[in-house]
Amino acid sequence: MPIQQTLSIIKPDAVKQNVIGEILTRFEKNGLSIVAGKYLFLTKEQAEKFYDIHRERPFFTDLVDFMISGPVFVSVLEGEDAVLKNREIMGATDPKEAADGTIRKDFAKSIDANAVHGSDSHENAIKEIMFFFREDEIISKLEL
């Protein structure tokens, strides 16, 4: 499997629980490296644009309101098969269905407030990384 990068967002519910460090540790313990990161408060316009693919879904307004309810921690994770690996570490969208030991099982309260976002494909990972980071803000381990 190739070395990939993927975008992670620690959502406002997890930031409020003060578990940014615990969540980042799970990525690192599972072979992913944090190669870029920033703590920020999304604007409504940013949240709407980021979740544009869900614009027609009934939960879109709630999703945007939730994502701007507090600061988030956005990072780029790098490692072998990073997109899929991150999705495995995150667990299912609905924490009720998330496997034991996953982030969503341990930190998410509901399908709306589900602790983390992770890119769902290599193509979307590239788009999502570019949404938040300039090229010079990412320091790949491959370049060191």
Q: Where does this chain bind Mg ion (CB under 5 A)?
A: 120
The residue number whose beta carbon is nearest to ligand IDP equals 93
Q: How is residue 141 written in tokens? A: 């381990």
Q: Would you say the C-alpha torsion 135, 120, 43, 27 has a positive or negative sign? A: negative
Identified catalytic residue from 91, 117, 118, 128? 117
Binding to ligand IDP (CB under 6 A) within 46-85 occurs at 54, 59, 63
> Is position 117 annotated as part of the catalytic site?
yes
- CA 57, 86, 29: angle at the middle one, nearest 5? 150
Total interface residues for ligand IDP by CB under 6 A: 9
Q: Looking at beta carbons only, is 123 or 137 nearer to ligand IDP? A: 123
131 belongs to the binding site for ligand IDP (CB under 6 A)? no
Q: Measure the CA dihedral 118/113/55/70, to 10°.
A: -90
Q: How far is CA 58 from CA 30, 114, 117, 128, in A?
A: 34, 17, 19, 22
Segment contacting ligand IDP by CB under 6 A, of 14-22, 25-33, 112-120, 131-139: 112-120
Of 45, 47, 52, the C-alpha closest to 66 is: 47
Among 43, 61, 93, 121, binds ligand IDP (CB under 6 A): 93
Catalytic residue annotation:
117
Which positions lie near ligand IDP, rule CB under 6 A?
54, 59, 63, 93, 111-112, 114, 117, 120
